[in-house]
Amino acid sequence: MRNKSWIAAVCVAVCGSAGVLGVMTPAEAAVSKKDVLAQKVERVSMRKTQEALNLPMVERISRLRSQGPAGYRNLVEIMFDEQAKMDERWKAVTAAGRIGGKDARPEIDRALKHEVWFMRNAGLIAARAIDREAALKAARQLITDKALVVRASAVDTISELSDPSATDLLWKQLHSSQNFKGGQSLYVRIKIAEALARLEKPGREDKFIALLAEKETEMHAPALFALERLTRKTIGPADGSVGERRAAWLKWWKANKG
């Protein structure tokens, strides 16, 4: 199997064309000496992989890497084991992304489409470690997910990977009824406002003035940050409270732009 990493081999062995557990052939299980420092391929017990998942992040990834293809095979089995605990499956997904890189895409893509919310959430986090464009594409799709946690993770992905092209989508979601409950903002709206404050370009200052006009005070700090960043102006006392600076900006805008 020329030029094929052991992760890719395990992907074929574990998922197969139908995405079910299969039998790994000797060729698929072959491990490059260069890739794993001449490590001999040996069976790793499921218990050892589970124990590794309970370690702190840095040690967890190091221990799982040392388990080679057999350990990765265990990881994939844990990921899609409906009887496994939620936190164990979540850790398995995120670890697979860090260990497998782009070769782990089949498993991560499967997690992103999973019916269980925490698998989609973990898949999105794992995607960030694999491919920026693929992660952003997934984030744009999941920003309207039925699960609030998944929507919030999608916003975090867009913000952390700095995607200014997503600002129109973010504004749309900021005002979506999906992100309100009982007339009050869900916490994802604050995340969206913070992302927009970082990513928006000059010319949309009026949108942040509209946020300042909202009654919900959580919207005011990111709106002020955006206005000061975009206009390079400080209106009102620089060391004033959010409320004082808000009032100053609204007064200034009405006098100069309104």
Q: Block means of pLDDT (10 residues each) for the chain, length 258 residues? A: 48 42 33 41 85 96 95 96 97 96 95 98 96 97 98 97 98 97 96 98 96 95 97 93 96 89
pLDDT of residue 257: 81
CA distance 21 to 73: 9
φ/ψ of 203, rounded to 5, equals 115, -10
The structure's pTM equals 0.83
Distance (Å) of CA 13 to CA 3, 33, 133, 212: 16, 20, 27, 55
Token reading at 87: 């936190």
pLDDT of residue 5: 55
φ/ψ of 116, rounded to 5, equals -90, 130
- Helix and strand element counts for the chain (H, E): 16, 2
pLDDT of residue 21: 34
pLDDT of residue 10: 53
